[in-house]
Amino acid sequence: MAAPTDPDGDSERIEPNDYRLARAAVIAHDGPPAVGHSAGLKLDRQQGRLRSITGASLLIALSLLVAFAIDRFLVPPSYVGSALYAIPILFSAHRFSPRAVAGVGLLSISLNLLSAYLGQTPMSGWLFGLLALLLLSYLALMVAKKRQQATQRTREAEEARYQLQQFLGLVSHELAQPLTTIQGYAQLLGRQAERRSQTGQRAPVAIDAAIRQLHRLTDDLHDAAQVGTDHFTIRPSWIDLVVLLRAVVTEQQASTSQHQIILNAPEPVSGTWDQDRLRQLFTNLLANGIKYSPHGGNVCTRVQQSGREVLISVTDRGTGMTPEQCAVLFQPFTRFNQSDAVPGNGLGLYISRAIVEAHGGRIWVESEAGQGTTFSVSLPLANN
């Protein structure tokens, strides 16, 4: 790809933003698993299930033989013999398909009747055992069907999640490089703005702002696709949490003139955390406080060390939320009716929760409609 060139003749190469290049490389490197890798994982799971089923089958066959031997040779004709056949039926209900459970039940009943016939058990004895095993087999069959349905729903959910991860990873990957190219040209236009009209001077700024917004979207899509996978990791290093928060507060304060961001924190609070991930977390929380306080006001950030954990809270006096909204707030793509005019993609808090949980911490929200919102984060100090 040719470098952007100054129309006056001076060739000026625009180096792509290093962070964006690194981000694109990460997306290409550790995005959603390739088809071959996924097929290998499925094959491994199938082989594991086959080994498990084989072992369970041998165990059931052995238990049936033991039950028959005890019923036939060690105990007198009684209800005890029939009860022995219940064990493999109950075991099969939690491991096998409904058809296999029915087969185990039928085999158990057949062995029980054979033992009763060979031992000349009275009709009252073997008839009671037959009815009991029939009822137990029916119940085991119902349990197996319910378990199979639950397993099928789980598999469908996992497949849907995998497809979503593939889609999000593809979208973020395909958008990253074109956006970097466009941003490079926008920066070139910005440096030439003094030779242009007032409209021409505003255009590069508007282009660059739009590109930054799209970059944030691709970053969020990339992170959301990795949540819940081995690719969503943290890289801890020794940092001062207060210094990091102060930098984020300064950045967010520069983005608004209607709000006053207040930081109340001791110095220092040092520990081992992922600095980039925590910067992302605090940026999301402060940006939310600003966005959902449309009339301005204070956004207060407080840091407090308590025992072996550090508590961080972000409080605004904005629109607030109902309990029903709070219950689904950390789900992906969650946006409420009031937020139609508020920028965002509904992924920030979903990713924030993943960041906190990856550090072994907790995040929760307290809010009341019309009274503002407080987000609280607890990060462990146990390993610091």
CA 352 and chain centroid, separation: 11
Same domain for 224 and 121 = yes
0.75 exceeded by pTM: no
Same domain for 259 and 227 = no
Distant-in-sequence contacts of 57-60, Cβ < 8 A, 24+ apart = 59/91, 60/88, 60/91, 60/92, 60/104
Same domain for 245 and 227 = no
H or E element that contains 295: none
Same domain for 247 and 185 = no
Domain count, the chain: 2
Q: Between 285 and 146, where is the model more confident?
A: 285
Q: What is the mean pLDDT of residues 361-376?
A: 93
Domain boundary among 197, 232, 267: 232
Least confident of 241-250, 343-352, 354-363: 343-352
CATH number of 294's domain: 3.30.565.10
CA 209 and chain centroid, separation: 30
CB distance 304 to 341 below 8 Å: no
**pLDDT given at position 174:** 65
**pLDDT given at position 33:** 41
**pLDDT digit string, tens, across residues 61-118:** 666 666 666 666 555 555 555 666 777 777 777 777 788 777 777 777 777 677 666 7
Q: Give CA–CA dist 134/122, Å, rounded.
A: 19
Same domain for 215 and 111 = yes
Domain boundary among 232, 252, 285: 232
Same domain for 190 and 175 = yes
pLDDT at 10 over 50: no
**pLDDT digit string, tens, across residues 211-243:** 776 777 777 777 777 776 667 788 899 999 999
Strands 259-264 and 297-306, sheet pairing:
parallel
| Helices assigned H by DSSP within the chain | 18-30, 35-69, 79-84, 86-93, 98-118, 123-191, 198-226, 241-253, 275-291, 323-327, 348-358
**pLDDT given at position 197:** 58
CB distance 325 to 338 below 8 Å: no
**pLDDT given at position 18:** 40
Same domain for 338 and 304 = yes
Same domain for 159 and 78 = yes
Domain boundary among 232, 262, 277: 232
Domain range for 326 is 237-380
CB distance 185 to 7 below 8 Å: no
Q: What percent of the chain has pLDDT over 90?
A: 23
Same domain for 228 and 245 = no
Same domain for 243 and 213 = no
**What are the tokens at 346?**
């509904």
Least confident of 2-6, 63-67, 321-325: 2-6
